Structure 1
């Protein structure tokens, strides 16, 4: 991949102010590398996409704030985000707002993807993780769902609320903030994270919309975003990495998330000199290497789950076919490398 997934720093800049206002002790909560990214966010052009995901999740856990993602998103200034926030005020209709949000979401963050689905009279705005979430992504997704609702309220008014919101993660222990904020049915443990509205609402208009200005701004952002654009293989790498564990990712599922047909996705990958199978194998090799490098007592059943297999024997066959060895030699080699690195560090010190 050409570069690690990135995000605009505006969200982290706002969270830094939110933490100060609400008394979250970031130095106590965040590990040094993450704290440095957060405090430096006002002086950089991009931040790693994982940083906001991990910041929200760790702060929610340590500060015992299960409502943190939604509460932060309801507090922040919509006009204080990155390039995409330039467009929201100028969208003439709800359909325009949904379209530009999906088109330019990557300029805000490459941590998530989005797709629109039509189910009868329901319009489903789905969001899904594009990067692995080491500590979980529930707070980040609740944050982005809240922002999606607030953007739609710019057109439909503060009293508007979705038909329902679905979350793939379990419910928080306390629901007071969520119920008061969303004021619609909340479905937890769903097979997706999505906001649902009625088809008739797509045509809702705002007197503040300006189609000509919106088109101009879109052209400007299109030019801005070209340097960030990734090829199909890079995008598929991200989706597989975020969804591989447990066997939930397939060619068909990946194509569905990207709103293309499986044949079209294979063709795009072929243009990059790859196939879905080759990208999947590459991600499995990377995850296997990472697993053995970080686990002092590797377990083949756990590795199988991480690689998307239901049986340990399938993981064992993958290691022999693609890494030319078995689990025990890989674990022994990783142990020797850790011991060597530890010895070098002691000598240097």
Structure 2
């Protein structure tokens, strides 16, 4: 058994798919078939464009390795990072943009980094006497993808910072823990600062004077709303393992069909017995996952849609409204009607069975 299968930091499905989606778009622009990048990973091309999907570091790193073999440009990390704007960071970008100061935005970015799909662990080191240091640490020692990970991270961070406080932003220095590539001159052209290779750590040194800079889009109300949405997207409790995440994703996409264990096993190219054994080894079971996904989706529909209770039940695989009500009470301890959002003015809530 390899190390990847033993380390929960590498197999927990907690990473958003932003980077993988970006790589797929680059491949498709070049006429490259990226479907094969997902072979054997319990993941599909379509799933990486789904904002609700989370993958493990093991899955993401395998896709990156395959992408780097297929994409012709050696500086693909710089190219992908350069394409990013504040808008590409979604809710996290909005939360940072509406913060009071650049320093506040940096704190938000570090706290909610998982929302952005970062494949490296980030921390702000304040021990340097003349600079703040954004330190990026890989989760696994893999020299084949380290340059890509650093290029994408530091280039996209640069574009984000310039989007927040203007094109004059530049680091004091960039230090990278790998040898200089043949295209090292492109680093200096992009970052407009000294770049050192073969260093002990991957870090970007920033002038502390930037931290007090007021952001032009500061809005306390929008900032609170965006932060609340970021909090809602953060992992809650221990992240699911790959097999549990794969089953959850397949169930969610087919809830109205009420798929059974055999149906999901077939989609994963497993026998029902093997799938059941793998779920038990992951500390879960098919029925528990199915009920959890149905409960989550039912609550979403009850809060955010005008479907009748019977229609909500049908959407999560129940043909009989009474059966759905009983199941919902078992899952949540409350009746479906109790989960309804307050009706909007002039709208009569749908409660029919």
Common topology (TM > 0.5)? yes
Is it true that 1:185 corresponds to 2:213 in the alignment?
no
**Mapped partners of 1:127, 1:54: distance in 2:** 20
CA 1:60–1:11 in structure 2 vs 1: closer, same or farther (change >3 Å)? closer
Confirm whether residue 200 of structure 1 aligns to residue 200 of structure 2.
no
2:65 paired with 1:84: no
* Secondary structure in 2 matching 1:12: helix
Correspondence list, 1:1-349, <5 A: 1=8, 4-26=12-34, 30=37, 32-33=39-40, 36-43=43-50, 45-81=53-89, 83-109=91-117, 111-118=119-126, 119-131=128-140, 133=142, 135-227=144-236
Counterpart Cα distance in 1 of 2:167 and 2:87: 16
Are the structure 2 counterparts of residues 133 and 5 from structure 1 closer, same or farther at C-alpha, using a change threshold of 3 Å?
Answer: farther
Matched residue, 1:329: none
- Structure 2 portions without partners, runs of 5+: 1-7, 242-353
Structure 1 171/55 Cα, relative in aligned 2: closer, same or farther at 3 Å?
Answer: farther
Between the aligned partners of 2:112 and 2:188, the Cα distance in structure 1 is 29
Deviation at 1:57, TM superposition (A): 4.0
8 Å CA contact 1:9, 1:82 repeated in 2? no
Residues 206 and 19 of structure 1: CA distance in aligned 2, closer, same or farther (over 3 Å): same
Aligned to 2:337: none
SS at match of 2:134: strand
Q: Retained in 1: the 8 A contact 2:119–2:149?
A: no
User: 2:263 — aligned with what?
Assistant: none
Query: Equivalent residue of 2:206, what SS?
Result: strand
Q: Which runs of 5+ in 1 are unaligned?
A: 235-349
Q: Secondary structure at the match of 1:221?
A: helix
Distance of 1:34 and 1:182 partners within structure 2:
35
TM-score by structure 2 length?
Answer: 0.57
Which residue is 1:268 aligned to?
none
1:88 and 1:151 in contact (8 A); partners too: no
Render the CA deviation track for 1:118-170: whole Å, top value 9, x for unaligned. 21120101111124548432201210111111121122212321111111111
Cα separation, 1, equivalents of 2:100 and 2:53? 30
> Retained in 1: the 8 A contact 2:176–2:202?
yes
From the two aligned structures, give the one with the greater helix fraction.
1
Partner Cα separation in structure 2 for residue 226 and residue 52 of structure 1 = 17
- Identify if the C-alpha distance between structure 1 residues 62 and 224 changes in structure 2 by more than 3 Å, giving closer, same or farther: closer
Larger Rg: 2
Paired residues, number: 230
Question: Whole-Å Cα distance in 1 between the matches of residues 58 and 85 of structure 2?
Answer: 21
Is residue 35–residue 45 contact of structure 2 (8 Å, CA) maintained in 1?
A: no
Measured in 2, the distance between the counterparts of 1:20 and 1:220 equals 31
